[in-house]
Structure 1
Amino acid sequence: MTVPTSLHHAVAADLLDAGIHVLVEKPIAATLEEGRDLVARADASGAVLQVGHIERFSPVFRALAERAAAPRHIEAVRIAPWKGRAVDVDVVLDLMIHDIDLVLALAGPDAAVTTVEATGAAVRGATNDWARAEVGFSTGLVAVIEASRIAPLSERRMTVATAGGTFIADFAARRLSDAAGAATEFAASDNLAAEIDGFLDAAAGRGPVPVDGRAGNAALDLAERIRHAIQNSPARSSAGLVS
């Protein structure tokens, strides 16, 4: 299901109520309340609800997740030039949501978010076009996540530091390297096809939902906390942008 984020709930709700399995693009919905409602509808009807966090299916990320156990520090950068697309939501829900989901997946289910600090601003559109967040977890992990849709170039990179070493994932170049410079190159992959195969397997009862509605809501919850932190950041307040 690919419609603007603002319509995710309206379209997916009817399908789930009818017992139709749904693969909805990220983020799961425009608000956490809507996302939770979709999960409740899927539970009630027994329909599969999968969220399209496509980077989970990247062989680079899968290899990173295998090697980077118990991360202590994560730095994620996802920037791109202005394209004028997805302007119904801000950059947190448009681009940063990818890395929010990956950070939560690496942090693990027992890592609770304890602190969120963020800043951002609108430049070309009516909502935030760039944002930077620092997120602390109960495990001691600190994640710094940066996203921009007004950058002069494109970059999709994640650096993960663990007790056993540091790993650098370049999703655009399909390369995973370590601090010593050893690198693994990955062949081009169809991540969308892998995502759809996972959805079809779940719908047929052949496996679990790869990224279920609750995982989608966890990413959306943190995204909302980041957006709230941006809105209430000292920089915006001092500029008169917060009442």
Structure 2
Amino acid sequence: MTTSEIRTGVIGLGYFGSFHARQHAANPKGRLVAVVDADRERAEAVAAQHGTTPLSDPRDLIGKVDAVSITVPTSLHHAVAAEFIDAGVHVLIEKPICDSPDAARDLIARAEARGVVLQIGHIERFSPVFGLLRDKVKTPLTVECTRIGPWKGRAIDVDVVLDLMIHDIDLVLALVGSEVIAVEAMGSPVLAPTNDFAQAQLRFANGAVAHLSASRIADRSERTVKVVEPGHYWVADLAARTVTSVARGHTVLAQEEIAVPPSDNLALEIDSFLDAVAGRGRAVVDGKAGLDALVVADMIIQRIAQTSRRGATVSIGDQH
């Protein structure tokens, strides 16, 4: 397949979907042939912006596209993605991969059977800030992730663990490279019917520990990853685009701040997806990586529920 032959579509034109449409339209490696939304007016408006075709039914795309971004609500990920995968269409699904590990496993099996790319939209993996941190960190002992922001009233159909924390779960798994063996967590709904804030501690088989905090009702915004390893303390500020290193010197601590140039992480993500579709590489965040993050997120959500009821412990062995 040559790059000019990659016909693309975007299904779901909400907050993230409209950004996907813009990036697909701007990328010369593909051609955006249609956008889909149940709201016909929204589909027509986005289509008009990018000179493409508006559709209301995703199934009308089958046979017309080689690859799609799926940005519908999480509860619909499996149903929509399964149809396209079975039709031999490559799919990029916004995180999380699905609303349950079993549904995610089914999509992975379908993609393997059809030989199509299944990429998950964990966009922070494409942040040059995280890329720099991952290149620098060798042996993480502790990782502390904070992802908080003010109330926006969107994505309240899912828990804050699936809405926000799952980004950092994926980053931690990529940094530590070991199996989670124990989970402690707490959280609570405040304005939404699902948990609006959550805190979790993950213990890994290699001895590393991660602390994660997520909130969508905070009084400020923060997206940071802090790592302690022998001789080093790292602070990656994903919003400010800096990586700070504090290292042990001979007599004093040496501190250095590295500024990372601006980038459009979604543009990088979609560009990588199109490269994978064209056979120029593999999906950076494939179905297995999406499943791994979802399994840990599911453990955290269960632990929160069990803690609020009786303080019970999640059985790790039952989660895989």
Sort the TM-score into its range (normalised by shorter chain). Answer: over 0.9
Match of 2:284 in 1: 210
**1:174 match:** 241
Q: Which residue number corresponds to residue 135 of structure 2?
A: 66
Q: Which gives a bigger RCO, structure 1 or 2 (Cα 8 Å, sep 6+)? A: 1
Q: From 54, 66, 70, give the equivalent of 2:123.
A: 54
How many angstroms does 1:88 deviate by? 1.1
Task: Say yes or no: does 1:93 pair with 2:162.
Answer: yes
AA aligned opposite 2:147: R
* Equivalent residues in 2 for 1:3-82, closer than 5 Å: 3-82=72-151
Summarize the alignment of residues 99-178 of structure 1 with structure 2, pairs less than 5 Å apart: 99-108=168-177, 111-178=178-245
What is the one-letter code of the residue matched to 2:195?
N
Match for residue 301 of structure 2?
227
The residue aligned with 1:237 is 309
Equivalent residue number for residue 272 of structure 2: 198
Q: What amino acid sits opposite 1:158 in the alignment? A: V
Residues 1:184 and 2:251 are matched in the alignment: no
* In structure 1, C-alpha distance between the alignment counterparts of 2:140 and 2:219, rounded to whole Å: 30
Amino acid aligned to 2:309: S
> What are the superposed Cα offsets for residues 42-75 of structure 1, whole Å, 9 maximum, x if unpaired?
0111110000000000000000001111210000
Q: Which runs of 5+ in 2 are unaligned?
A: 1-69, 247-253, 312-320
Take 1:88 and 1:181, find their aligned partners in 2: how far apart are those partners? 43
For the pair shown, the structure with the greater C-alpha radius of gyration is 2
Aligned to 2:17: none
Code of the aligned partner of 1:186: V
More divergent stretch after superposition (172-181 vs 207-216): 172-181
CA distance in 2, matches of 1:115, 1:74: 15
Q: TM-score, normalised by structure 2?
A: 0.72
Q: Distance in 2 between matches of 1:55 and 1:128?
A: 22
- Per-residue Cα deviation, 1:49-107 (whole angstroms, up to 9, x for no partner): 00000000000000000111121000000001111111110100000000000000001
Secondary structure at 2:255's aligned position in 1? coil
Tell me the amino acid that sits aligned with residue 200 of structure 1: L
Q: Secondary structure at the match of 2:173?
A: helix
Q: Scaled by the length of structure 1, what TM-score is found?
A: 0.95
What are the ranges of 5 or more consecutive residues in structure 1 without an aligned counterpart?
none
Secondary structure class of the residue paired with 1:181: strand
1:178 maps to a residue whose letter is S
Percent of pairs with identical residues: 56
**1:63 counterpart letter in structure 2:** L
Deviation (angstroms), 1:23: 0.4
